[in-house]
């Protein structure tokens, strides 16, 4: 079973001009959600075609390719995997041909009941071509709906997926003449659409529309439990009850872009609030606040504002290597930290440093950063984390490893501090986060921050 955190982007253009440059721009905006592979499924001569490769969006979709695969309707996907294989057969979108008709899927999330569904389908003779959860959805639709894909209505498709497939999913389905976007009833993963004069754009994050210079009032959230069809006939909606939400708090902490607005909050401002909270809960006398770039930057601004200790660039960020957390191979990850975040020695030499990061998962990165800062002459290093301890794995689509790999699992803060080699260590509390989110707190998932499985 693969666990994935990905990005999806879809475009339907009313004037039948070429969507592919838009999809490529959209996928570049979502590149932070997955860097292993990228692909586009599009309509061509009444069929669905797919172009996908391993690598970064800009490398895969050169100008030549973009001109070649002209289409007025398309969906795209960026992906990374962790426990499963990072290889082309698992990259998306997936495409199926069934009784001479075609459709494709691009999915962000992880299906909780995937093992059960896969076993049931295999017992009945279904053959799977990939290890991915996403392929299951294609088989579920074919097995439960009429044999003629052209007869499938929005309601049929949505009801089938909502009935059989457990969250999490924010997904796009591409048919020859329409795109269907579906978000699971808990709304774990974000999903937005933008309606312009030219057509419809759908994105995992609303920052994916920024390149369009959009009229922001026309950007809408696809709601938990909602399915929307985009076609030449306009927009059609279908919705099921969604009383309980479970927005992934890790989207705010780490995954989403700072300029995105997800779950009703701006990501940068939310991270800044968390940094302020961290400073209130974990004060310390020091000379400078140093962010672990990029995801710790907004929180470090908040910590600095609250503590009145100046923020300094004590670590630089080498942009030409991938995000550490996103790399599925442990050895590559260790080498990556040294290449990615070299210290700026004159800034930190002889200083008492407050090092602010968004989270600690395995602790590998943090240990190496602390060693580098000490080697570069830091007098003291006080680590401040703008989230609670990560102590549980995730079953809903974020790359959080098994408990035994988590540095905080079963450990007290003092033990973690010693393991990473910091002078002091402070986390932000769930209680404090509850105060920031107020009544919205109950709409979030915090499972990975909870020692016991008691909030389901
Ligand atoms: S367990 Fe953590 S990472 Fe997974 S959905 Fe919940 S908050 Fe997000």
The residue nearest atom 4 of ligand 1, judged by CA position, is: 394
* pTM recorded for the entire structure: 0.93
pLDDT of residue 1: 40
Tokens encoding 302: 């908040």
Rounded average pLDDT over 38-58: 95
Pocket of ligand 1 (CB under 6 A): 188, 248-250, 394, 396, 398, 400, 445-448
Active-site hit among 6, 248, 394, 448: 6
Assess whether 6 carries a catalytic annotation: yes
Q: Is a pLDDT exceeding 80 seen at residue 455?
A: no
Tokens encoding 108: 């962000």
Choice from 400, 450, 453, 456 to test ligand 1 binding pocket (greatest atom count within 8 A of CB): 400
Rounded average pLDDT over 136-159: 94
CB atoms within 10 A of CB 282: 21
Residue 249 CA, closest ligand 1 atom number: 7
Over residues 66-100, the pLDDT tens digits come to: 888 899 999 999 998 754 567 888 899 999 998 98
Domain map (residue ranges) of the chain: 7-245, 269-438
Over residues 4-32, the pLDDT tens digits come to: 579 999 999 998 899 999 999 999 999 99
> Average per-residue pLDDT in the chain?
92
CATH number given to 7-245? 3.60.20.10
Residue 395 CA, closest ligand 1 atom number: 4
pLDDT of residue 323: 52
Tokens encoding 210: 């920024």
The residue nearest atom 8 of ligand 1, judged by CA position, is: 248
Residue 328 confidence class, pLDDT cut points 50, 70, 90: low
Rounded average pLDDT over 175-183: 97
State the distance from the centre of ligand 1 to the C-alpha of 396, rounded, in angstroms: 6
State the distance from the centre of ligand 1 to the C-alpha of 454, rounded, in angstroms: 14
Q: Is a pLDDT exceeding 60 seen at residue 167?
A: yes
The residue nearest atom 6 of ligand 1, judged by CA position, is: 445
Rounded average pLDDT over 152-172: 97
Least confident of 134-138, 339-343, 350-354, 434-438: 339-343
pLDDT of residue 130: 87
HSE of 252, CA atoms in CB hemisphere, 13 A: 28
Spell out the CATH class of 269-438: alpha beta
State the distance from the centre of ligand 1 to the C-alpha of 254, rounded, in angstroms: 11
Rounded average pLDDT over 142-151: 92
Over residues 236-260, the pLDDT tens digits come to: 999 999 889 999 999 999 999 999 9
State the distance from the centre of ligand 1 to the C-alpha of 251, rounded, in angstroms: 8
pLDDT of residue 86: 72
Q: Is a pLDDT exceeding 90 seen at residue 322?
A: no
pLDDT of residue 456: 39
CB atoms within 10 A of CB 99: 9
State the distance from the centre of ligand 1 to the C-alpha of 157, rounded, in angstroms: 27
Over residues 206-232, the pLDDT tens digits come to: 999 999 999 999 999 999 999 999 999
Rounded average pLDDT over 198-208: 97
pLDDT of residue 320: 72
pLDDT of residue 2: 41
């Amino acid at each position: 079973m693969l666990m994935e955190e990905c990005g999806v982007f879809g475009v339907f253009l009313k004037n039948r001009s070429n969507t592919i440059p838009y999809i490529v721009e959209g996928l570049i905006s979502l590149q932070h959600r997955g860097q292993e592979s990228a692909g586009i499924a599009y309509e061509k001569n009444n069929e669905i075609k797919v172009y996908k490769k391993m690598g970064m969006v800009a490398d895969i979709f050169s100008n030549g390719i973009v001109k070649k695969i002209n289409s007025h309707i398309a969906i795209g996907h960026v992906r990374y995997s962790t426990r499963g294989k990072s290889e082309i057969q698992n990259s998306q979108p997936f495409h199926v041909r069934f009784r001479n008709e075609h459709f494709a899927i691009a999915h962000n999330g992880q299906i909780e009941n995937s093992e059960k569904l896969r076993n049931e389908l295999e017992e009945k003779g279904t053959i799977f071509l990939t290890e991915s959860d996403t392929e299951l959805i294609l088989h579920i639709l074919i097995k439960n709906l009429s044999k003629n894909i052209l007869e499938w209505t929005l309601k049929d498709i949505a009801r089938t997926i909502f009935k059989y497939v457990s969250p999490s999913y924010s997904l796009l389905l591409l048919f020859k003449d329409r795109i269907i976007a579906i978000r699971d009833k808990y709304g774990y993963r974000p999903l937005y659409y933008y309606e312009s004069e030219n057509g419809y754009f759908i994105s995992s994050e609303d920052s994916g529309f920024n390149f369009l210079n959009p009229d922001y009032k026309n950007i809408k959230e696809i709601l938990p439990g909602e399915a929307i069809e985009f076609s030449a006939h306009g927009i059609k909606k279908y919705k099921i009850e969604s009383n309980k939400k479970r927005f992934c708090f890790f989207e705010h902490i780490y995954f989403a872009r700072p300029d995105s607005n997800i779950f009703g909050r701006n990501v940068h401002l939310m991270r800044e609030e968390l940094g302020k909270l961290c400073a209130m809960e974990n004060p310390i006398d020091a000379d400078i606040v140093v962010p672990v770039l990029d995801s710790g930057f907004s929180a470090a601004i908040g910590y600095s504002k609250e503590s009145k200790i100046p923020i300094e660039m004590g670590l630089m960020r080498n942009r030409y290597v991938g995000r550490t957390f996103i790399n599925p191979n442990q050895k590559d990850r260790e080498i990556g930290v040294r290449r990615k975040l070299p210290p700026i020695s004159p800034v930190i030499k002889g200083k008492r440093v407050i090092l602010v990061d968004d989270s600690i998962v395995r602790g590998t990165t943090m240990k190496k950063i602390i060693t580098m800062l000490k080697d570069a002459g830091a007098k003291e290093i006080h680590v401040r984390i703008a989230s609670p301890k990560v102590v549980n794995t995730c079953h809903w689509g974020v790359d959080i490893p098994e408990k035994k790999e988590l540095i905080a699992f079963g450990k007290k803060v003092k033990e973690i501090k010693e393991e990473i080699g910091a002078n002091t260590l402070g986390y932000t509390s769930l209680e404090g986060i509850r105060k920031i989110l107020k009544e919205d707190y109950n709409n979030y998932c915090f499972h990975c921050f909870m020692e016991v499985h008691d909030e389901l």
